[in-house]
Structure formats: structure tokens, C-alpha cells
Amino acid sequence: MDARLARIAPAKAPSGNSFAEAVVMGLARTPKEIACKYFYDETGSRLFDQICELPEYYQTRTERALLQRHAPEIARLMGPEVEIVEFGAGSLRKVRLLLDALKNPRAYTPVDISGDYLADVVRALGADYPGLTLRPLVADFTLPMTVPALAGRLRRAGLFTGSTIGNFKPDVAMALLRRMRGTLNGGGLLVGVDLVKDPRRLHAAYNDAAGITAAFNTNLLVRANRELGADFDPDAFAHYAPYNALAHRIEMYLVSLKRQSVTVDDQRFEFAQGEPVHTEDSRKYTIESFREMAARAGFSPRAVWTDPERLFSIHWLEG
Ligand code: AVJ
């Protein structure tokens, strides 16, 4: 390990059995559910990167283009000498667009639940930005957490991209934004938000022809088999992801294709033919509905950028 990486603050690992608990408790419920944050083991993180490249998944490329186009203005709003704190950092590809535009960025603190993956991508970023203090934190940002100040008590700017906010129920999303506002100590937050649109476009984005989203969804079962010794037959479950136009959300399920029983952690779970396991909601907002929620969370919504087709939006919220 080189000197710069050695200065990284010790990573806080999430508790070891949380996935086991989530599966066992989620399958005991009616309807059955497994929280979407468990998609992101290393395989899941890599499948998600493949989703981002799909022709149907317009979100990532639209957001990236918006970031690229407006980076100079965003950099001005964030100001010089900042510490960037990114919630759910993923592949770290988007932050580069900002780092290249920011005036003398001092530190970067990516927070992600996928520890091995984070270590990998941080190593690659460090090689390209020598002189930037890197502080990866392996943590579940949906839980309360403290991000200790770095030397120099740097001003913070937050990054919360990819429309990850859409995974949370509105009241939970608001509480999460409120907590992020606390973490940022008065600094602003840049949030990427997917917009309400033609339901056919949304449906296609979660039902891609190549079947990558289906593999991403089913990977939850593969992960349970590998990590928990469960005996799911992944082929006996179908990926099902309809758009609920009334509730403005994609709902993702794994549907049991037959009557079957599965054992996880010495517990048996019965599945009826056609019984769904709810694995994700991906809510879509209007520009106005998101700004309203951000304001209720204590932020002052300022600039907002969108593409000509109004597929996606990026919001600058002042702390
Ligand atoms: C990372 C939560 C924003 O909801 O679009 C992609 C995850 N799920 N395809 C989304 C996802 C299926 C993605 N988020």
C-alpha cells in the first residue's frame, strides 16, 4: 500500500449478519420483501455498472451529460477548497467530472455499502488525482453516521447522484436528506433525480432486452445462496418490474414461478405459485415535487438543470 492510501481513515464495516437478517425477516413478512440495498455485493455493483451502459437505461448517460455540461457552474456554486462527500458513491465515475472543474478540491469522501468494490475503484481514482485526500467510508448511508472532520475543517459539498433518492418512501427520503444536511455542516448538496415521464420509456429502462436488470434482480438470490447457504433456484423466479403510473414508481419483484419451499439459515419459507418478493421501488419525481421535498428537509433549493427531453434532473440544494 502506498503512503497516500495508508492515510485513509479506517473504514467502518457494516455489521456482518445484516443481509442474513434482512432475508430471514423479509421472507417472513406478507408480502415478502428484501431491501434493495442488498443488491450491491461486488457482483451486484458490477451488474449495476452494466445497467448504466444499457441503451434503454437513459438515466446514467443523461445525468453524466448534464454534469459535464454544467460542471463549471456547479464548481462555482460549490466553491474552492471543498471536501466532496458522496453518498452511495458506486463506480466513482461521475465525481471525476466535478473534480476536473472544481477549484483546488481538497478531499473526497466516498461512502458506499460495497466495501471490496469501493476499495478497488478508490485505488484507480487515487492514481489519477494525486494530491487529493481520499477517505473511503464503507457504510450504509441510510443509517445515522458521523463523518469526522478532516484536518483543516474543510467546507463540505455533498453528492447524491443516480436518483438513488428514488429508492426511498417520501417520508424516509426527507429524513435522509435532513440527515445529509447535518453531515454537510451547512454545505450544499447536489442531487440527481429521475423524472416522471412516458411510462413506456420507464418500463423499457427496467426491462432491458439483454436481461441485465433481470440478472441484477436475481443476483439477490444468488447472493443469498453464496453468503447464507440458502437453496434458491434462481431460474424458478421471474424478474417483474412494472411502472405504477399512479404512484410514480417502478416496482421491482422476484416472482415465484411455482409452488416451492426454500431454506435460509435453517428456516423454511413457502412460496405460492405467482407469489412476489418485493425487491425495489424506484420513485420518479417532478422538478417541483422534488424541490418541495428538499425544502421540507431544510434545504434551500437553488439551481436545477435538466435535458431538453426532461428525462432527468440535477438539483443544487443550499444547506
Ligand atoms: C441506483 C436505485 C437509482 O432505481 O434506477 C436500476 C437501481 N434498479 N435498475 C434505479 C436500478 C434496476 C437504480 N438506482
Q: 204-227, pLDDT tens digit by residue?
A: 999 999 999 999 999 999 999 999
Q: Is 154 helix (H, G, I), strand (E, B) or coil?
A: coil
Q: pTM of the full predicted structure?
A: 0.93
Rounded Cα–Cα distance for residues 83 and 257 (Å): 49
CB atoms near residue 226 (< 10 Å): 12
CB 280 near ligand 1, within 6 Å: yes
C-alpha cell at 51: 445497467
Task: Please state whether beta strands 243-244 and 249-256 pair in parallel, antiparallel, or not at all (unpaired).
Answer: antiparallel
- Residue 7 binned pLDDT confidence (cut-offs 50, 70, 90): very low
- Residue 191 binned pLDDT confidence (cut-offs 50, 70, 90): very high
Q: What is the pLDDT of residue 273?
A: 98
CB 213 near ligand 1, within 6 Å: yes
Q: Which of these ranges, 115-124, 210-219, 230-239, 247-256, has the smallest mean pLDDT? A: 115-124
- Residue 6 binned pLDDT confidence (cut-offs 50, 70, 90): very low
Q: What percent of the chain has pLDDT over 70?
A: 95
Segment holding 244, helix H or strand E: strand 243-244
Ligand 1 atom at minimal distance to the Cα of residue 167: 2
205 C-alpha vs ligand 1 centroid, how far in Å? 9
81 C-alpha vs ligand 1 centroid, how far in Å? 32
CB 162 near ligand 1, within 6 Å: yes
Span between the terminal Cα atoms of the chain, in Å: 37
Rounded Cα–Cα distance for residues 283 and 60 (Å): 16
